[in-house]
Amino acid sequence: MEIPVFTVDAFTNIPFKGNPAAVCLLLHELQDDMYQNIAAEMNLSETAFIIPLNSKDDFSSENVNSTVVFETLSGELYVRQQGESIVMDFPLNKPTPLQGLNEFKDIVKAAVGDQPVQEVCLCGTTKMLMVRLADSCDRSVLTSLQPDPAVLLRVDTGGRVRCLLVTVIGDPGCQPGYDFYSRNFFPWFGVPEDPVTGSAHTVLAGYWSEKLGKKKMLAYQCSSRGGELELELKDDGRLNIAGQAVTVLQGILTV
């Protein structure tokens, strides 16, 4: 069986930046172990498998503006092209502020050390713990953090935390005017730090929208690759996340 496969760098228009993901075009569903084997072979944090829902669906250029639906950890994801950007329609996941740090003090300490913390929130739906650094911290403080994945994994969270988000307020007065910055750590999924994370911004957008009083925001994820995300909260309670993407590899996977 031959499967068309692409490697796409998302949330960037520069090769080898943003979030690298494998995209496989399938004519029919595969056995579960085959999905896992292909994902392991691609060796990227994300591998997407696109399957036509009926015989009228295809992957031709004539359907480039159609909407594609994905099942994700954050719920159903609707994807469409708009100009030079890819727009993803996510559910919005607002986190809940925690009254004290005692419950997760060890994981917060492992993540940010002695840096001042302004607020800690938890999103029960996605099991994402969000740590907001104090506004006295800037982007350089965020990028200097070096949390040890092994230490994070040793902290007993009772299964309530599967992802760790660390964020700080941005500086909209400086071009290009980022509203907030973040770094996202997923050692519980075998990913010490994710390059750019769309699903994490369903939580971050819900939080920062209320704090900043804005429905449209520009965010930057400060991994070593880096990525820019345009965020827009919709009236129906969902979230649009837009970003550019560049294809860096195209080939055939033979299995």
**Which H helix or E strand runs over 212?**
helix 200-212
* 29: Cα separation from own chain's centroid: 25
Q: Which of 2, 41, 46, 119 is catalytic?
A: 46
State the CB neighbour count (10 A cutoff) for residue 33.
Answer: 8
- Amino acid letter, 127: K
What is the rounded end-to-end Cα distance, in angstroms, of the chain?
A: 5
Structure tokens at 14: 């520069």
**Is 119 among the catalytic positions?**
no
The CA-based angle 48-207-104, given to 5 degrees, is 85
- Quick one: CA dihedral 3, 252, 81, 93, positive or negative? positive
Annotated catalytic residues are: 46
